[in-house]
């Protein structure tokens, strides 16, 4: 046997002390010992307790497991998985240092993350503070620990694509990563070259689901796909919790009542039917066990069988039923379900959103193709330019272009909105100059079609907002919009998977071309409209049940229907084999101006908040205008959701 003699160390005692790691521990033990949640970012501030979020234990510990190389997590919103990533980063610094990268959807995300989460992670921990020399080491571009750098990268910037090698790469909320196509590189591939030099590299990807962008699915499909099984204390069987077994008393349907009646909602064991009450939830969740695909869990908790994939690629998926916070309580989820599962909720895609973001299920509501023969039946009993009963607000839209002979054509329409997702086409047409356009839309309020009864003394409705496509001749459109600030707004179409169906851009941030006419753009905003989103909504409203959806004025010309049908929803596969639903023209050069104006008048209704209108105790609740959309507000909202 060889005897080992201590060699004289090349390190000074101070240096060696600095390198001493706090012993062998798991990520969750490390977090329980050192992590303190800050008042600024958490309602549950104070020392981190993994026991509060037991399903995160194995997810976090996988990061410290030398056999694991990749971790993919599909989670519901508000599931504290970003905190788990921060705990992994802390573990890296304290126990297993190596250059690391954290990618968030946007560069801007770090302004919030650094101040409210990442800096407090260091500043609230003496052990972490030993690894920084001064506050200058905690910057917005990254943290410079004495034993490893931590780089911050926005998936929207290409800066991340080159640089020094990285051992640990964290991708957070990849559903919000920008879509990529053709020559652009997948943000998830960026940094790949930087990671590959390390043999013990780790890649962590985290996302909630969103149909428009299911980036995480192909990665998760290659993992061992673990699900969280919890025991029934009655029969001892372990099961994952599923939405269908959450039970609401039969007579309780009002969302507000459901929110109030804590204890009314319970979970039913799918094997023996025993009740699991709200107050027993945490106890069950604490006893949960992650089980990989291919394996089974026996009543005592023994796991049998062979996993299909090794833990080298660990995958995790869970839904909001196990979350301990009030914002995800069973009552809250049930209330959200009833709010989403209404004709209106379906039209606006709320049900789909609930299934995706809360239940972590890939769920697409199939939109039936619009049937040409069904459209004439949607002609109403009100004539062109008059407003039917039930209509509460009017919007308008215009699509401007020149035809082959160079003649100006302005297609326009006026749309009315009511409760429960109902809307009406009030007027439509095509004119050749702006004067005629103004007369048609802004000339005088529109008369009621039924002047007797409820409308007798009601004031007539005028258009409150017009969206005008400014893709063509933006100077001219903006000159027109200047005449009616906030009532006429220029738009441009996009088919990207942007966060919100509408997005505001400042136009006066002059580009070179616009500098010629800076005064036109002063203070102007332009709305980017996600055309796919509104085409889906239009299609849902045309296939809907009776009483729901769009009704047209009696004399609406056949060409209007024809143009509505000139595009169809089709499945397209991108270069990675992922399906995407997009609207495509049925025939080359088929005109679809009426579909375009329908999209914009519908979008103007959305801007005014019609999707949130509801009827309550015979009182109509119309939340005010959709606030001026500021990018920072959208960001904050997203953050609060997490
Ligand atoms: Zn049971």
Answer yes or no: do 329 and 447 share one domain: no
CA of 262 to the centre of ligand 1 (A): 22
Question: How does the average pLDDT of the chain come out, rounded?
Answer: 85
In a domain, 508, yes or no: yes
φ, ψ dihedrals at 637, nearest 5°: -55, -45
Same domain, 243 and 267: yes
CA of 271 to the centre of ligand 1 (A): 5
Same domain, 341 and 262: yes
The answer to whether residue 171 is domain-embedded is yes
| Comparison of pLDDT for 211 and 252, the residue scoring more | 252
Q: Which CA distances in Å does 324 have to 50, 281, 377?
A: 12, 8, 50
* Mean pLDDT of all residues in 43-66: 94
Cα(493) to centroid of ligand 1, in Å? 52
Q: Do 197 and 267 belong together in one domain?
A: no
Model confidence at 129, in pLDDT bands (50, 70, 90)? Answer: very high
Give the position of tokens 């995407």: 580
> Which segment of 176-180, 383-387, 424-428, 553-557 scores lowest on mean pLDDT?
176-180
Residue 142 within any structural domain of the chain: yes
Span from the CA of 322 to the centroid of ligand 1 (angstroms) = 17
Is 83 in the same domain as 189?
Answer: yes
Q: 210: which 2 tokens? A: 């969103």
Length in residues, the chain? 642
Residues 437 and 574 in one domain: yes
Same domain, 431 and 492: yes
445 and 524 housed in the same domain: yes
Residue 240 Cα to ligand 1 midpoint, Å, equals 12
Predicted TM-score (pTM) of the model is 0.72
Q: Of 401, 258, 440, which Cα lies nearest the Cα of 337?
A: 258
Same domain, 206 and 233: no
Candidates 340, 349, 288, 295; CA nearest to 319 is 288
CA of 297 to the centre of ligand 1 (A): 14
Q: Residue 37 domain-assigned?
A: yes
CA of 245 to the centre of ligand 1 (A): 12
Q: Which of 220, 235, 262 is the last residue of a domain?
A: 220
b/e burial code for range 516-550 (CB count within 10 A of at least 16 → b): eeeebbeebbbbbbbbbbbbbbbbbbbbbeeebbb
Answer whether 267's CB lies under 8 Å from 241's CB: yes
User: pLDDT (tens digit, 9 = 90+) per residue, 560-616?
Assistant: 999 988 888 877 665 555 556 778 888 877 788 999 999 999 999 999 888 878 766
Give the residue with greater pLDDT, 331 vs 618: 331
User: What is the whole-number distance in angstroms between the Cα of residue 280 and the centre of ligand 1?
Assistant: 13
Within a domain: 637 = no
Q: Which residue blocks in 261-341 are alpha helix, DSSP H?
A: 281-286, 330-340
Q: Assess if residue 3 is contained within a domain.
A: no
Output the CA angle 586-592-597, nearest 5 degrees.
140
| Final residue before a domain boundary, out of 174, 200, 220 | 220
The pLDDT, as a whole number, for residue 574 is 57
User: How far away, in angstroms, is 239 Cα from ligand 1 center?
Assistant: 9
Burial of 268 by CB count in 10 Å (0-12 exposed, 13-18 middle, 19+ buried)? middle
Tell me, yes or no, whether 435 lies in a domain.
yes
pLDDT for 7 beyond 80: no
Using the mean position of ligand 1's atoms as its centre, give its distance from the Cα of residue 270 in Å: 7
Domain boundary among 204, 220, 236: 220
Please count the structural domains in the chain. Answer: 3
CA 52 – ligand 1 centroid, Å: 24
Residues flanking ion ligand 1, Cβ below 5 Å: 232, 234-235, 269, 271-272, 274
- Reference 209, options 365, 347, 317, 366; nearest CA is 317
The answer to whether position 85 is within a domain reads: yes
Domain span at residue 138 reads 28-220
Neighbours of 73 (CB within 10 A): 27
What's the confidence (pLDDT) of residue 182? 44
**Cα of 518 vs its chain's centroid, Å:** 35
Verify that 587 and 481 share a domain, yes or no: yes
Task: Please tell me the distance between residue 272's alpha carbon and the centre of ligand 1 in angstroms.
Answer: 4
In a shared domain, residues 385 and 516: yes
**Is there a single domain that holds both residue 139 and residue 238?**
no
CATH number of the structural domain spanning residue 86: 3.40.50.300
């Amino acid at each position: 046997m060889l005897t080992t003699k201590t060699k004289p160390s090349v390190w000074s005692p101070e240096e060696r002390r600095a390198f001493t790691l706090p012993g062998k521990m798991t990520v969750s033990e490390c977090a329980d010992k050192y992590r303190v949640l800050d008042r600024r970012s958490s309602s549950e501030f104070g020392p981190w307790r993994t026991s509060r979020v037991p399903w995160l234990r194995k997810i976090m510990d996988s990061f410290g497991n030398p056999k694991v190389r990749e971790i993919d997590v599909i989670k519901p919103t508000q599931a504290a998985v970003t905190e788990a990533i921060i705990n992994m980063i802390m573990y890296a610094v304290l126990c297993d240092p190596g250059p690391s990268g954290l990618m968030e959807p946007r560069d801007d995300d770090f302004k919030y993350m650094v101040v409210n989460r990442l800096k407090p992670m260091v500043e609230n921990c003496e052990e972490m503070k030993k690894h920084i020399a001064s506050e200058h080491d905690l910057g917005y571009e990254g943290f410079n620990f004495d034993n490893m750098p931590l780089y911050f990268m926005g998936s929207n910037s290409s800066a991340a694509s080159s640089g020094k090698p990285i051992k640990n790469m964290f991708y957070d909320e990849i559903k919000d990563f920008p879509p990529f196509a053709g020559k652009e590189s997948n943000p998830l591939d960026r940094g790949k070259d930087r990671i590959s030099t390390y043999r013990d590299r780790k890649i962590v990807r985290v996302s909630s689901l969103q149909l428009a962008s299911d980036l995480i699915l192909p990665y998760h499909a290659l993992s061992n796909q673990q699900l969280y099984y919890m025991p029934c204390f009655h029969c001892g069987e372990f099961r994952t919790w599923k939405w269908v077994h959450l039970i609401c008393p039969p007579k309780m349907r009002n969302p507000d009542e459901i929110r109030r009646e804590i204890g009314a909602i319970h979970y039913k064991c799918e094997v023996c039917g025993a009740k699991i009450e709200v107050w027993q939830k945490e106890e069950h969740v604490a006893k949960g066990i992650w089980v990989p695909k291919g394996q089974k869990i026996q009543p005592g908790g023994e796991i049998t069988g062979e996993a299909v994939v090794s833990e080298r690629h660990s995958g995790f998926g869970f839904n909001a039923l196990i979350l301990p916070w009030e914002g995800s309580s069973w009552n809250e989820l049930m209330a959200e379900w009833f709010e989403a599962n209404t004709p209106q909720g379906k039209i606006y895609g709320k049900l789909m959103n609930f299934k995706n973001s809360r239940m972590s299920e890939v769920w697409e509501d199939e939109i039936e193709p619009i049937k040409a023969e069904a459209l004439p039946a949607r002609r109403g009993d009100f004539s062109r330019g008059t407003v039917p009963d039930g209509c509460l607000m009017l919007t308008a839209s215009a699509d401007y272009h020149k035809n082959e002979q160079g003649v100006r054509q302005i297609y326009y329409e006026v749309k009315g909105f009511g409760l429960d997702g109902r809307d009406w086409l009030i007027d439509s047409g095509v004119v050749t100059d702006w004067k005629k356009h103004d007369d048609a839309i802004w000339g005088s309020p529109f008369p009621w079609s039924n002047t007797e009864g409820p409308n007798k003394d009601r004031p007539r409705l005028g258009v409150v907002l017009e969206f005008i496509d400014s893709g063509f001749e933006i100077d001219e459109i903006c000159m027109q919009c200047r005449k009616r600030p906030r009532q006429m707004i220029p738009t441009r179409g996009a088919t990207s998977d942007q966060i919100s169906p509408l997005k505001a851009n400042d136009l006066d941030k002059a580009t070179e071309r616009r500098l010629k006419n800076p005064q036109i753009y002063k203070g102007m905003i332009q709305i980017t409209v996600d055309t796919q989103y509104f085409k889906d909504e239009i299609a849902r409203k045309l296939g809907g049940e009776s009483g729901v959806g769009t009704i047209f004025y009696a004399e609406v010309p056949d060409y209007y229907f024809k143009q509505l049908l000139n595009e169809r929803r089709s499945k397209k596969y991108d270069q990675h084999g992922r399906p995407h639903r997009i609207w495509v023209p049925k025939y080359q050069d088929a005109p679809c101006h009426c579909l375009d104006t329908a999209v914009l008048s519908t979008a103007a209704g959305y801007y005014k908040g019609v999707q949130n209108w509801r009827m309550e105790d015979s009182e109509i609740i119309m939340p005010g205008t959709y606030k001026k959309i500021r990018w920072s507000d959208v960001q904050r909202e997203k953050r609060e959701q997490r």
